[in-house]
Amino acid sequence: MTGSYPNMRMRRTRASAWSRNLHRETQLTPSDLIWPMFVTSGEDVEEPIATLPGVSRWSVDGIVARAKEAVRLGIPVIALFPNTPPDKRSDDGAEALNPDNLMCRAIKAVKDTCGEDLGVLTDVALDPYTAHGQDGLVNDAGYVVNDETVAVLVDQALNQAEAGADIIAPSDMMDGRVHAIRIALEMNSQPNVQIMSYAAKYASAFYGPFRDAVGSGGLLKGDKKTYQMDPANAEEALREVALDLAEGADSVMVKPGLAYLDIIQSVKQRFEVPVFAYQVSGEYALIEIGAREGIGDRDALLMEKLIAFKRAGCSGVLTYHAPVAAKLLGA
């Protein structure tokens, strides 16, 4: 401190809006936002998701329309997640490798329309494609096997990169998958495709609406605690991040976001790399439902939470509120 009351009045710089703006330590802009979207089959299809108020699954043409909106709003990246039809799901998740699957069709359509004006981030994991809802291959004992899953994830990542994905985001939490994907991208003439690793992904209770959105919730047998992290662990998250960076990740993600601000801050301080947070479906839904029930103003709630991610050290945030926040920021 450089003074004491009354020489130092902390309220002086808060007395007017212009001064509060001048002294604001953390800035949030539309370029800090990544907009997750759900792809479904058909044409001219919109399927509202009951557990995610205000969010829908869109057919590819609808995704393209939303992508154009993202460009208009100054949102730099969209993230795609498919709702694979039940008849295309299997125990081995083979549809993930189909170059004409929902994900690849959406990637191509967005890149054909928006080109370099918009980045496309794609999820690499098998849960949207498996009949059992797990992120990987399952053995006879019900255990999600690591190395066999990684081999499939590599092919899935290449499939998406060849379709035009700009950022590959492995969300599966298998050991060694970042290194395997990085080597495969280099060997297949895709050196500029980024990897944003879900480096610290926790076995969270906040994922329920997302699983409804991609159609895996009702299929899931058991849980994901053998590969997603224990919410009680912090040091383990730093080890996970260190490994993924050593294996070739360009950026890392902490998921979920709000309950793990301490992890975000620790990762940023320890590694000084781009860190992203996923404001997951349960976090989003709580804001929407809380506002609907009169708990608080929706816009104020969502903006306060987004600025908290930035304050903790995030380079950006994946949020279903991205278009709403971008409009508020541009107002």
Residues 19-62: tens digit of each pLDDT = 999 999 999 999 999 999 999 999 999 999 999 999 999 999 99
Global pTM value = 0.95
DSSP letters along 155-217, please?
HHHHHHHHHT-SEEEE-S--TTHHHHHHHHHHHTT-TT-EEEEEEEEB--GGGHHHHHHHT-T
Q: Is the pLDDT of residue 2 over 80?
A: no
Fold assignment, 28-329: TIM Barrel (3.20.20)
Average pLDDT over residues 245-274: 97
Structure tokens at 23: 């002294």
Give the residue among 183, 176, 180 at the shortest CA–CA distance from 240: 176
Give the residue among 78, 102, 77, 105 at the shortest CA–CA distance from 164: 105
What distances in angstroms separate CA 283 from CA 228, 243, 290, 301, 321, one per listed residue? 18, 28, 11, 11, 11
- Can you give the pLDDT at residue 283? 95
25 is in an annotated binding site: no
Q: What are the sequence ranges of the domains in the chain? A: 28-329
Residues 218-246: tens digit of each pLDDT = 788 789 999 999 999 999 999 999 999 99
Residues 60-88: tens digit of each pLDDT = 999 999 999 999 999 999 999 999 999 99
- How far out from the chain centre does Cα 46 lie? 21
pLDDT band at 107 (very low <50, low <70, confident <90, very high): very high
Where are the extended beta strands (E) located within the chain?
A: 33-39, 46-48, 56-58, 77-82, 119-124, 167-170, 194-201, 251-255, 275-279, 316-319
Instruction: Enumerate residues 6+ apart whose C-beta is below 8 A from 205.
Output: 282
Neighbours of 13 (CB within 10 A): 11
Residues noted as catalytic: 201, 255
Residues 191-217: tens digit of each pLDDT = 999 999 999 999 999 998 888 888 887
Q: Is the pLDDT of residue 1 over 60?
A: no
- Can you give the pLDDT at residue 275? 98
pLDDT, averaged across the chain: 95
What distances in angstroms separate CA 8 from CA 4, 16, 17, 46, 255, one per listed residue? 5, 17, 20, 56, 40
Question: Cα(71)–Cα(66) distance, rounded to whole angstroms?
Answer: 9
What distances in angstroms separate CA 7 from CA 10, 15, 22, 149, one per listed residue? 10, 16, 21, 64
Q: Which residue has the higher pLDDT, 124 or 1?
A: 124
Instruction: Enumerate residues 6+ apart whose C-beta is below 8 A from 302.
Output: 287, 319, 321, 324, 325
